[in-house]
Amino acid sequence: MKQPTLLDEDTKFLDLKGASKWASEYLDRKVTISNISYLIQYGRIKKYENKNKPLVSLEELKEYYDSLKKEKQWKKILGDDLNWHLSFVEYKEAERTKHVHRLHPYKGKFIPQLVEYFLDSHTDEFKKEVYFRKGDIVLDPFCGSGTTLVQANELGLNAIGVDISAFNVMITNVKIAKHNFRLLVEVINTLTSKLENFQKDRKNTVFDEHLLNELSKFNSKYFPSPDYKRKVIKGEIEENKYAKDKEKEFLNTYYRLVEKYQIHIKQNKGNSFLDKWFLAPVREEIDFVFGEIKNINNAEIKKVLAVILSRTVRSCRATTHADLATLKNPVITTYYCKKHGKICKPIFSIMGWWKRYTIDTLNRFREFDGLRTNTYQICLTGDSRTINLLERVKKRNHDFGEILQKQKIRGIFSSPPYVGLIDYHEQHAYAYEIFGFERRDNLEIGPLFKGQGKEARESYIQGIAEVLRNLKKYLVNDYNIFLVANDKYKLYPKIAELAEMEIVNQFKRPVLNRVEKDRSAYAEIIFHLKEKR
């Protein structure tokens, strides 16, 4: 990695003495050189060098001290038992979504650093106990998109995942699999060329380019950046009225181009998710690419391409930029985008996202390939309340099955579904329709459609307890179970009791990087369970 120097234009660096002086002034209290060295030693900020002289980034130093202020504010709201070290505030977004962890969007997943903290066999000043060691087996019975399995591989642990959703299992197994890069690149290039040829007979790409050109001219004239936003803030422009008038004005250009290129916008049917949330040109390209994927003989390559297509499709839904996380109403025309402060458009072709995600996927595979260990990871489709783990693992990989039978599972690290909070199947409804996966909503524990009432909470308690009781027979005697939960209804003491376990510790962590617009103080609990004595 290139070492930064004092000549770097984008980042300001300070030596330890300079950092000490700056921090003392910024905090209005004495910060010594030893204090700065401590931050470097324990990974709070990174160490840089210039001619063997240690340096720190001013931006990183400021972010660290700002986080301390936030810590005080959050503890005032959530309590002094908040474990701020588990906020992982020091990690950038790219580190929280490193390598294959960002292969596909998934609501409700935890960050890899949280998994790493509990699975890693090393200790630090905050972690006093080691729960897992290299070669152990860890289990995630609510595997989701596979964060636990990926981190287990990186840390030298064997791992088993179980999930009720076949689509989730496919994502996980694609993440942890070893891939033939040469063949994968070859197939991707061939498929991309076929899509380009398919587009030559259609007018949507030419229409899209013309539309973008017209939008660029219109936005430069009526929504210049940053002047437009500045005038809105000063009250010189009444945003809602102005934006509505300009949105209506540009629609004339939009409909003129639609007619010129004879673009068919709406699909002729509207019964399914794919019918409702995708413009007709996009749906045609989706169907074409999936048809080509079905003709590929290599099963592993086919799964990788399916994940890339699914990620692409998700980004091409006919919705506004502000409503990507929670769909409201399909958008079939240009519109004023409050997020970007200009007129934006829906997507008319998957090509841009397809190319972007094929490149990104290959890069993430290569990055993870340089970190992976020679260990076993398997994700199984099934219900953790009833699954015969040993039988299923042996069927998939006899050698791993033998290891499982001999040494058993050291423990569990998982984030069970939160009661009545997320519709885990519906978030990927498009994928179930494209690939024909069976939806098993009725087997979810704590599904959104059951709500959060008394009956739903009782059902949830029974479901999680059944999972723990079923899986105990595969665990070592002195097992460690870690369950990440937002237990606002205080359900986990009862769950532990029904599973004949006890909660021996609780780690209350702040959740700083939430996807939702609500960024208020929020915490979740990691419950540490062991066999009841």
- Single-letter amino acid, residue 114: L
Q: What is the pLDDT of residue 72?
A: 83
Is residue 346 situated within a structural domain? Answer: yes
Of 88, 84, 86, nearest to 73 by C-alpha is 84
**Domain edge (last residue) among 363, 383, 406:** 363
* Domain's final residue, options 301, 336, 363: 363
Instruction: Tell whether 520 is covered by a domain.
Output: yes
Give the SS3 label for residue 56: strand
221 and 242 fall within a common domain: yes
Question: Is the same domain home to 188 and 333?
Answer: yes
pLDDT band at 38 (very low <50, low <70, confident <90, very high): confident
Q: 374: which 2 tokens?
A: 């020679």
Q: Please give, one letter per residue, the 3-state secondary structure of 474-507.
A: HEEEEEEEEEEECCCCCCHHHHHHHCCEEEEEEE
| Same domain flag for 310 and 385 | no
pLDDT band with cut points at 50, 70 and 90 for residue 513: low
pTM (predicted TM-score):
0.86
Each residue's pLDDT tens digit, 344-387 = 999 999 999 999 999 999 999 999 999 999 999 999 999 999 99
Are residues 201 and 108 part of one domain? no
Place of tokens 């809105």: 232
Could you tell me if 266 and 141 are in contact, meaning their C-beta atoms sit under 8 angstroms apart? Answer: no
Whether the ω angle into residue 226 lies within 30 degrees of 0, i.e. cis, is yes
- The alpha carbon of residue 334 and the mean position of all alpha carbons in its chain are separated, in whole angstroms, by 29
The answer to whether residue 284 is domain-embedded is: yes
Same domain, residue pair 39 and 122: no
Least confident stretch, 276-290, 470-484, 503-517:
503-517
H/E stretch holding 188:
helix 181-200
Mean pLDDT value of segment 458-475 = 97
Asked if residue 42 has pLDDT above 80, the reply is: no
Q: Is residue 396 part of a domain?
A: yes
Residue 476: domain span: 84-176+373-531
Question: Do 353 and 385 belong together in one domain?
Answer: no
Choose one of 315, 339, 363: the last residue of a domain: 363
Query: Same domain, yes or no, for 164 and 234?
Result: no
The per-residue pLDDT for range 50-106, each reduced to its tens digit, is 888 889 999 888 888 887 778 888 888 888 899 888 988 878 888 889 999 999 999
- For residue 40 the two structure tokens come to 């470097």
Within this chain, do residues 56 and 170 fall inside the same structural domain, yes or no?
A: no
88: alpha, beta or left? (left if phi > 0; alpha if psi -120 to 50): left
Contact 508, 493 (CB under 8 A): no
Q: Do 393 and 408 form a contact (C-beta atoms < 8 A)?
A: no
Contact between 300 and 353 (Cβ < 8 Å): no
Those residues with Cβ within 8 angstroms of residue 351's Cβ, 6 or more apart along the chain or in another chain: 195, 196, 199, 205, 285
Distance between first and last Cα of the chain? 51
In a domain, 6, yes or no: no
Residue 3 maps to a domain: no
Residues 198 and 322 in one domain: yes
Confidence of residue 519 (pLDDT cuts 50, 70, 90): low
**Judgement on whether residues 186 and 171 belong to the same structural domain of the protein:** no
The answer as to whether 110 is a domain residue is yes
Q: For the residues 499-511, what does the mean pLDDT come to?
A: 95
pLDDT digits (tens, 9 = 90+) for 206-240: 999 999 999 999 999 999 988 998 899 889 999 99
Residue 47 within any structural domain of the chain: yes
449 three-class SS? helix
What's the CATH number where 447 sits?
A: 3.40.50.150
What string of H, E and C letters represents the secondary structure of 66-134?
A: HHHHHHHHHHHHHCCCECHHHHCCCCCHHHHCCHHHHCCCCCCCCCHHHHHHHHCCCCCCCCCCCCCCC
The number of distinct structural domains making up the chain is 3
pLDDT digits (tens, 9 = 90+) for 471-496: 999 999 999 999 999 899 999 999 99
Same domain, 380 and 509: yes
- Please check the confidence at residue 517 and state whether its pLDDT lies above 70: no
320 in the same domain as 218: yes
CB 143 within 8 A of CB 120: no
Query: Which residue matches tokens 């070859």?
Result: 186
